[in-house]
Structures are given as C-alpha cells and as structure tokens.
Chain A
Amino acid sequence: MDMTAGLGFKTEHLEEALTSRAAGLWFEVHAENYMVEGGPRLAALLALRERRPISLHGVGLSIASVEPPAPEHLARLKTLADRIEPAAVSDHLAWQRWEGGHHADFLPFPRTEAALDIVVRNVDQVQVTLKRPLLVENPSLYADLPGHEMGEAEFLTQLAQRTGCGLLIDVNNIFVSAANLGFKADARIDAIAGELVGEIHLAGHSKDSDPASPLLIDSHDAGVSDAVWALYRRLIARIGPRPTLIERDDQIPAFDVLMAERDIAQSIMIEGDDRYEYV
C-alpha cells in the first residue's frame, strides 16, 4: 500500500512535510483553500505534490443540495484536480448551499429515497466533470431528524453502488453522532461496507457548554480520543488497512506532535492491534 497514514497539510509545516522520510505519508488539504489563481499557498501545494500523494478534501460541493452542484465551483475543483492530480477527491454527505448562500457547516437531511436520487444525480455530475471517482464522507450529526427512510450506512452503500463513488469513513464523526443521537458506535462501524471504503478520517472532538446534556462537537481541535482509536482498531481489524488521515484544523500543534498521532494509525494498520499499547 503506497498511502498509509497521512496528515492534514498546514502551510506552516511545509519544510517538515517536504523533508519527512516517513514511509507511506501523504497529505490532505481543503480543496477550497487552493481554488485561487496563484500565490504562496498554491505554490506550497504544488511543491508538496512532487514528493507526496495529495488528497483534495472538499467542504463546499454540497452534494446533498436539491440544486445540482454549482457550476463555477465544480469547474474550479476540476481545474485544481487537473493541476494537482490528487490521489483522492472527497466531500461530505451534506448540504451547505441554499439560495446562493453558503452555510459553512455540513447540514443534515432526511435520508429518503427521494434524497438518495438527488445525491446520486449530484455525485454522478461531479464524477463525470472531474473524470475521477469521489469519496463521500459521513458527517457528524447533532440530532435525529424525522422522516429517515434508511440508515446512514445503507444510504452510503446504495449511493456508492449506484454512482461508483467510494466512501470516506470518518470514525470520529461516527463516535460524535453516536453520542449525540444515542446509537451504538460499534454497530455503526460494523455496518460499513468495507469494500467501498477508500479513506478513513480520525480527529478530535469537544463537548459543548451545556452541562445538562452536553453534545459532542466535531471540532478538530484536539488529539484523537481513546474511544475513537478503539473504533478505528475495530474497523481496520475487519476491513484491513486503508489510507487514514489525522485531521486537525484548530489549535494546530507542532508537526512532530501530529506525526506522533499519525504514527499510531500507521502502527495499527501495519503491525496490527496487538503490537500497539500506546493508548
């Protein structure tokens, strides 16, 4: 496997990212941050792609929107993908766009047959335009909505079967959603169609400030929790190793600190569960 455990790329870590000798290391960026004409940020990514596989992780395709993907946004993603030749392109099973506005979060929707048809159309359109497969990520959920006709795992499996897209399984999002909605994270991990998984995300979460019944927030501002590592081990033991990303978007620590977390994921994938007693 060429790509083992990777890191979200931060421009302040460019030198260390370029010179790291870690086997299997790869980097992921938020695609939108690089949809620009030029400048130092894009130059850094172009330098990094010479050394390491790059994954473009979108936060703005809005594939669960009733409207088709915004043409100008999709065109920019296509331009960037053609320039970077990424190892993977991904976005979220969620919507952000409504009447020309952009909600900078991953909004939920009732998982109905009608919604599935719409997401299938949108993912088809993305993949036809990019001429690349998309990986679709399970978002963090904060409340159960009325009107679901199928579970998330079933929805994602059907989406993948109908479009040929792959899945990006965010283990932290499953843990956060399970805590918030009151389902069993283990069972949800076990329901994932392993053969469809092209990438895994691991991240930290936080608690919101309501002491009565705190929600877990997918904040990406802390290390991966023990419970999330346990779920990750469970998933890898069943489906085998997959490119796995340590995501950190806030309270960014030193490169070495992120690499240490990344090395845990690497060990779990390469050496198997028993060898690692770090956490």
Chain B
Amino acid sequence: MNMSELNISEPAVFQATFAQALADETAAVEMFADPAIARALAVHRNTSAKAAHDALAANYPVLRTLVSEDSFAGCAQAFVASHPPRDPRLCLYGEDLAAFVAAYGPFSQAPYLADVATLERLVTEALFAADAEPLDGAGFARALDLDLALTLHPTVRFTTVASPAASIWLAHQPGAPPDALERLVWIDEALVVSRPGMAVQVAAIDSSTLVFLKACQSGATVAGAALAAAALGADVSALVATLITAGAFRAGLDLTLARKT
C-alpha cells in the first residue's frame, strides 16, 4: 500500500484538532463539547507535562537543588511550554535549558544558575556519548611523538563560565567536603567534563589547560598544543598528566592515524 491509496484526511483532521486542543485549553472547549473529552485532554496534558518535567529534573539535579523544588518546577513548566520535546528520547531532553535559564526572569538575580545548567548539559552529553578506551600515561609515553596530534575522547566537553559553576557542581556531589560551598571562591571558571569509564568526571581547569584542549580539538600536534599552553606559563607535563588522569584523550589507533604530515 502506498501513501496515495490511504485516506488520511479524516485521521489527519482529528490529529490536528486534538493536538491543538492539547496545546490550547480554551480552544479545546470549543472543539470538543463533551466534557469527558476535555477531562481526557487534561489527563494527557498532565501526563506529558510530568514526563517532560521529570526528564528535566533527572538531567539538571544540581540546578534543581540550588533553586528549590517549586522554583525548578516553575522554570521547567515555562521551558516545556516554549521548548516542548521534539525527540521521544526524553533522557536527552533539555538541550536549550541553560539559555532559557539565563533569560528567565525569576532567576535573574542568580546568573550562575545558567552556568550550572550549561555544565549539567555537558554532563548529560558525556554520560551518553560513545565509549572509548582512554589514553593512559603509559600509552602516552609509548607513543610520544611531538608531531602527533592527540585525539580528544568522545565524551570530553569543555567550556568557560562566568562563575565557579564547576566548583558549585562538585560541592553537590556525593562525598564532597561538607564545607565545599563555604570555601567557594567567586571567580570565572574553565571546566572539563569527561567519562573515561562509566563515571562522569568534572574538573575546574586553568586557562592554559583550556588552551591545550582547544588546540588538540582543532588538530594541533602535541608540540603545537604544548607551545600554546607554555605561552601562558603552564607546566606542560603537569597539565598533560592532569588531562590524562581525566581520560581526556582517546587511546589506540587514532593517535597514530592522527599523525601530521
């Protein structure tokens, strides 16, 4: 059977009407005179809104803790209304929440909330990104050739934020020191997110480490990346050791294949 043989007009009209009634409670009353259908529409609205809210709550746990349950629910509700899910994979829902939070009036006195949301999105991306063997110290030493390029691990994400969002996030993880929030230093942070195994790691990094990662990402050789970081006064061997501990690079063939000619 092909599309041209199907009579889609009546089902299409129904679905268009029902979708509009779901989106607009007032319109729903005119479209479906039966109060039972209005109630059914309300059930469907509630169920899908709860699913979207729960997905955001799961993906932004630190933001939720920072603002309290009710404030988070209000923000989530507004976000869902303006950015409804488009993908059935709700485990990935909320890509644009950080930008939304940055412009969300009730949170305007706390601009760091958008930064925490930015970081939590990177954590979600790292969590579900492709698995790969990370490059370890021995592998790095074995393959060390300054003309090689290091390939970033597929889970690695990094950015800079205008608040100590990484430190705030770390302070909310299990096992964080109880006084971590009190010791917070209110500075801009660069941060790297990685998942060398099954656990996501977040670290605040200095500007030279960020420069090194950016250089690697754009395909620079080890020598090129090291020079860029050293220009900022970095101890390059310590910097590389930190990144290897974070599992920031990919092991194996890629290292060789990335050789610059």
Interface residues of A (CB under 8 A from B): 32-33, 35-43, 58-60, 62, 65-66, 68, 73, 76, 95-96, 98-105, 107-110, 112, 114-115, 117-118, 120-121, 124, 141-147, 180, 208, 210, 215, 217
- Contact at A39–B47, with CB atoms within 8 Å? no
With contacts A103-B44, A124-B1 known, what are 17 further pairs, Cβ within 8 A?
A36-B89, A38-B132, A60-B89, A73-B88, A95-B15, A101-B84, A102-B84, A102-B88, A107-B22, A108-B40, A109-B18, A114-B8, A117-B6, A143-B40, A144-B36, A146-B34, A210-B39
Q: A104-B47, A107-B18 are contacts. A114–B88 as well, Cβ < 8 Å?
A: no
B231: CB under 8 A from chain A? Answer: no
Q: Closest CB of chain B to A112's CB: distance in Å?
A: 7
- Contact at B14–A110, with CB atoms within 8 Å? yes
Q: Closest CB of chain A to B234's CB: distance in Å?
A: 31
For B9, the closest partner residue in chain A by CB is A114
Chain B residues near A114: list those with CB within 8 A.
6-11
- Contact at A38–B10, with CB atoms within 8 Å? no
Q: Closest CB of chain A to B113's CB: distance in Å?
A: 25
Q: Which interface residue of A42, A68, A118 has the most chain B CB atoms within 10 A?
A: A118
For B10, the closest partner residue in chain A by CB is A114
Chain B residues near A32: list those with CB within 8 A.
88-91
Chain A residues near B48: list those with CB within 8 A.
103-105
Q: A33-B91, A105-B44, A210-B39 are contacts. A40–B8 as well, Cβ < 8 Å?
A: no
For A98, the closest partner residue in chain B by CB is B19
Q: Considering the complex of A and B, which 10 residue pairs feature the smallest CB-CB distances, nearest first?
A: A60-B88, A143-B40, A142-B40, A104-B51, A38-B131, A36-B128, A37-B130, A40-B198, A143-B36, A98-B19
Q: A100-B86, A105-B48, A145-B37 are contacts. A39–B10 as well, Cβ < 8 Å?
A: no
Q: Closest CB of chain A to B256's CB: distance in Å?
A: 23
- Bound-state Cα–Cα, A145 to B18, Å: 11
- Bound-state Cα–Cα, A109 to B29, Å: 18
- Bound-state Cα–Cα, A101 to B93, Å: 12
- Bound-state Cα–Cα, A194 to B40, Å: 29
8 A–B pairs (Cβ distance < 8 Å), ordered by A: A35-B89, A41-B127, A42-B128, A60-B88, A105-B47, A110-B11, A110-B14, A142-B40
Chain A residues near B19: list those with CB within 8 A.
98-99, 101, 103
- Bound-state Cα–Cα, A231 to B235, Å: 71
Q: Closest CB of chain B to A120's CB: distance in Å?
A: 7
- Bound-state Cα–Cα, A65 to B89, Å: 18
- Cβ-defined partner of B128 (8 Å) among A39, A95, A118: A39
Mark out the residues of chain B between 1 and 34 whose CB falls within 8 Å of any chain A CB in the assembled complex: 1, 3, 5-12, 14-16, 18-19, 22, 34
- Cβ-defined partner of B127 (8 Å) among A39, A62, A96, A107: A39
- Bound-state Cα–Cα, A102 to B10, Å: 21
B 82-99 to A, binary, CB cutoff 8 A, 1 in contact else 0: 001111111110000000
B250: CB under 8 A from chain A? Answer: no
Q: A36-B89, A43-B198, A114-B8 are contacts. A215–B44 as well, Cβ < 8 Å?
A: no
Mark out the residues of chain B between 142 and 190 whose CB falls within 8 Å of any chain A CB in the assembled complex: 154-155
Q: A36-B128, A40-B198, A117-B1 are contacts. A104–B8 as well, Cβ < 8 Å?
A: no
For A58, the closest partner residue in chain B by CB is B88
- Contact at A39–B51, with CB atoms within 8 Å? no
- Bound-state Cα–Cα, A100 to B19, Å: 12
B116: CB under 8 A from chain A? Answer: no
Q: Closest CB of chain A to B88's CB: distance in Å?
A: 2
- Cβ-defined partner of B43 (8 Å) among A66, A101, A120, A208: A208
Q: A66-B12, A73-B88, A100-B86 are contacts. A39–B195 as well, Cβ < 8 Å?
A: yes
Q: Closest CB of chain B to A249's CB: distance in Å?
A: 10
- Bound-state Cα–Cα, A188 to B133, Å: 54
B66: CB under 8 A from chain A? Answer: no
Chain B residues near A104: list those with CB within 8 A.
47-48, 51-52, 85, 88, 90
- Cβ-defined partner of A102 (8 Å) among B11, B16, B86, B131: B86
Chain A residues near B6: list those with CB within 8 A.
114, 117-118, 121
Chain B residues near A98: list those with CB within 8 A.
15-16, 19
B223: CB under 8 A from chain A? Answer: no
Chain A residues near B87: list those with CB within 8 A.
73, 102
For A68, the closest partner residue in chain B by CB is B3
Chain B residues near A107: list those with CB within 8 A.
15, 18, 22, 44
- Bound-state Cα–Cα, A171 to B16, Å: 30
For A250, the closest partner residue in chain B by CB is B54
Q: Closest CB of chain A to B23's CB: distance in Å?
A: 9
Q: Closest CB of chain B to A76's CB: distance in Å?
A: 8
Chain A residues near B103: list those with CB within 8 A.
none
- Contact at B51–A38, with CB atoms within 8 Å? no
- Bound-state Cα–Cα, A140 to B235, Å: 63
Chain B residues near A120: list those with CB within 8 A.
1
- Bound-state Cα–Cα, A146 to B92, Å: 36
